[in-house]
């Protein structure tokens, strides 16, 4: 007796189909799973056995062989519980086999036969659609997520009993329907706003420029100056996610098992802020079978690193490649996976270990060599990938006590989106490293020469910045890119001296410290 059922699993953020073959023969009772199963898949026999019996079905006392094909790719996770159980019931005649064609079946079984949610439902749904399959049967908690893909019948079930009744035609369950566009448009929301931030107008302006051009930014200032508060509000002034970006972001979080309960789609830009004790695997991704790290979870959003010098140096250095390429490749002995990692990096740091170097209100207790050692924890190559350095001085009392509030995030976002439209039009036929260019921060040498031409007065300012103010040579291209963004914000076709002058101000680390 043989049954064949389609299931699936994820590989990176994409999915591939797995055929669950079940063979029963009249021999001494035995249960074996082949096809490179991991520990969780091997243990499924105990869950499946108990779930079938506790759901009122007959568990066949035969030799049961489960094959997960293709057999040369390792299978992991508990999502094969339900297809294995259905396969056993189909092979023993308790489920009508002709009803299984075209369905992808997934789900983790509890011992009582109820279903628990799985990870990667959206990726599997996208794959099923591309294979032109009929539909999916999976836990009801994952039905909304899987229904984001049109053209599939998605049936959410709560237990093995419901799945069997559905396949045998004894129970009618309406396919889950989700209006993706309505859900997407109605869920653009932020609970925080720039209107809450008092003072720091210079820093707000720098964050607006960073958002408009997609530039990475670092903020330097004493404790309590509002660096973290500003960084948390950076996603609120970025352009809203497009539907394509939203689906890609959701796939990453779904594979990582980080989607909130009843959250079918991520509609706001991610904001990730890992603690400085994070490992390089936690930041970039890793594991025996690699999982996405913080740089991928921040895809299309913001990765904020607070207290930057406190991070281990080797952890910071592994960010250099994803910052350059917008993706990260993790290689292990058994597998190599690539995850997208196109994010804005926002950092914050104190100017010295005690935090008060240069603060007129508090005396600094740090010796100059100690300050130099502290600042040198952040390497030059990493700073080379951060376009904007901004100082955030301590907020004055009259700014804190005053009733005046800043602009709303929605007002700032309108200006940002206006500048981004100019850049999208400028780069619509240009790509870098195989991906489309959307913002000024993506420009490389060729694009800088083409789109960042400056006049004689601007060239004189640049010369003075490089020679007299002590700015590093690596700051030259960064200044030009930021100046291009400032010009876009002013709707100026050419880069003028005032744009160069403002961009030069955003290189305070180059001006103050020698790396």
What is residue 403's predicted lDDT score, i.e. its pLDDT?
Answer: 66
What is residue 401's predicted lDDT score, i.e. its pLDDT?
Answer: 66
Q: For the domain 194-398+407-512, what is the CATH code?
A: 3.40.50.300
Under the banding of pLDDT at 50, 70 and 90, the label for residue 514 is very low
Secondary structure letter of residue 75 according to DSSP: B
Report domain extents, the chain: 2-178, 194-398+407-512
Which of 243, 202, 238, 242 has the alpha carbon at shortest distance from 413? 238
Kindly give the residue spans of alpha helices, DSSP state H, lying in 301-383.
Answer: 313-317, 320-325, 368-375, 380-383
Question: What percentage of the chain reaches a pLDDT higher than 90?
Answer: 64
Compare 472 and 371 and report the one with higher pLDDT. Answer: 371
Cβ count near 224 (within 10 Å): 12
Mean pLDDT of the chain: 90
Mean per-residue pLDDT, 380-394? 88
Choosing among 3.40.50.2300, 3.30.230.10, 3.30.70.100, 1.10.3720.10, the CATH entry for 2-178 is 3.30.230.10
What is residue 325's predicted lDDT score, i.e. its pLDDT?
Answer: 86
**Strands 344-349 and 302-305, bridge-based pairing:** parallel
70 prior amide bond cis, ω within 30: yes
Q: Is the pLDDT of residue 187 over 70?
A: no
Q: Is the pLDDT of residue 511 over 70?
A: no
Query: Which tokens sit at 1?
Result: 């007796």
Under the banding of pLDDT at 50, 70 and 90, the label for residue 264 is confident
Place of tokens 């996603």: 235
Under the banding of pLDDT at 50, 70 and 90, the label for residue 180 is confident
Question: What sign for the dihedral angle of Cα 214, 215, 216, 219?
Answer: negative
What is residue 87's predicted lDDT score, i.e. its pLDDT?
Answer: 96
What is residue 186's predicted lDDT score, i.e. its pLDDT?
Answer: 67
Compare 56 and 74 and report the one with higher pLDDT. Answer: 56
**Alpha-carbon span 326 to 398, nearest angstrom:** 43
Compare 100 and 472 and report the one with higher pLDDT. Answer: 100
**CA 472 remoteness from chain centre:** 32
2-178 and 194-398+407-512 share one CATH topology?
Answer: no
- Among 227-241, 271-285, 374-388, the minimum mean pLDDT is found in 374-388
Q: Measure the CA dihedral 148/10/269/416, to 10°.
A: -90
**Alpha-carbon span 430 to 428, nearest angstrom:** 6
pLDDT tens-digit map of 202-218: 999 999 999 999 999 99
Kindly give the residue spans of alpha helices, DSSP state H, lying in 311-408.
Answer: 313-317, 320-325, 368-375, 380-383, 397-401
């Amino acid at each position: 007796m043989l049954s064949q059922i389609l299931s699936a699993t994820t590989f990176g953020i994409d999915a591939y189909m797995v055929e669950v073959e079940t063979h029963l023969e009249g021999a001494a009772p035995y249960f074996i799973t082949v096809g490179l199963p991991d520990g969780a898949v091997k243990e499924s026999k105990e869950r499946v056995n108990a779930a079938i019996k506790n759901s009122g079905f007959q568990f066949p006392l035969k030799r049961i062989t489960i094959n997960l094909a293709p057999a040369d790719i390792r299978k992991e996770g508990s999502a094969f519980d339900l297809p294995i159980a259905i396969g056993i019931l189909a092979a023993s005649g308790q489920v009508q086999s002709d009803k299984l064609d075209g369905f992808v079946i997934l789900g983790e079984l509890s011992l009582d036969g109820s279903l628990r949610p799985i990870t990667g439902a959206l990726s599997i749904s996208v794959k099923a659609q591309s294979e032109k399959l009929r539909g999916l049967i999976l836990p009801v908690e994952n039905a909304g997520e899987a229904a984001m893909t049109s053209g599939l019948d998605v049936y959410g079930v709560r237990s093995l009993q419901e799945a069997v009744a559905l396949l045998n035609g004894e129970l009618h369950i309406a396919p889950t329907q989700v209006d993706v566009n309505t859900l997407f448009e109605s869920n653009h929301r932020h609970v925080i706003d720039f209107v809450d931030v008092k003072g720091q107008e210079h820093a707000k302006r720098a964050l607006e420029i960073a958002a408009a051009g997609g530039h990475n930014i670092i903020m330097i200032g004493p404790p309590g100056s509002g660096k973290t508060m500003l960084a948390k509000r950076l996603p609120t002034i970025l352009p809203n996610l497009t539907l394509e970006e939203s689906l890609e972001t959701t796939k990453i979080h779904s594979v990582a098992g980080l989607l909130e309960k009843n959250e079918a789609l991520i509609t706001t830009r991610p904001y990730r802020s890992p603690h400085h004790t994070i490992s390089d695997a936690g930041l970039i991704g890793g594991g025996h079978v690699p999982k996405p790290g913080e740089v991928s979870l921040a895809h299309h959003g913001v990765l904020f690193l607070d207290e930057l010098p406190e991070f281990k140096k080797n952890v910071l250095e592994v960010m250099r490649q994803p910052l350059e390429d917008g993706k990260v490749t993790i290689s292990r002995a058994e597998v190599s996976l690539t995850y997208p990692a196109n994010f804005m990096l926002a950092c914050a740091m104190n100017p010295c270990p005690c935090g008060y170097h240069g603060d007129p209100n508090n005396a600094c207790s740090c010796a100059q060599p100690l300050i130099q050692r502290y600042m040198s924890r952040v390497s030059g190559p990493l700073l080379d990938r951060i376009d904007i350095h901004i100082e955030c001085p301590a907020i004055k009392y009259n700014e804190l006590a005053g009733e005046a509030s800043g602009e709303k995030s929605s007002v700032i976002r309108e200006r940002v989106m206006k500048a981004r439209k100019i850049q999208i039009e400028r780069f619509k036929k240009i790509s870098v490293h195989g991906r489309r260019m959307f913002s000024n921060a993506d420009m490389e040498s060729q694009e800088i020469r083409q789109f960042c031409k400056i006049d004689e007065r601007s060239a004189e300012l640049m010369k003075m910045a490089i020679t007299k103010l002590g700015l590093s040579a690596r700051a030259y291209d960064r200044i030009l890119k930021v100046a291009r963004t400032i010009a876009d914000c002013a709707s100026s076709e050419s880069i003028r001296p005032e744009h160069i002058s403002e961009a030069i101000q955003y290189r305070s680390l180059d001006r103050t410290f020698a790396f």
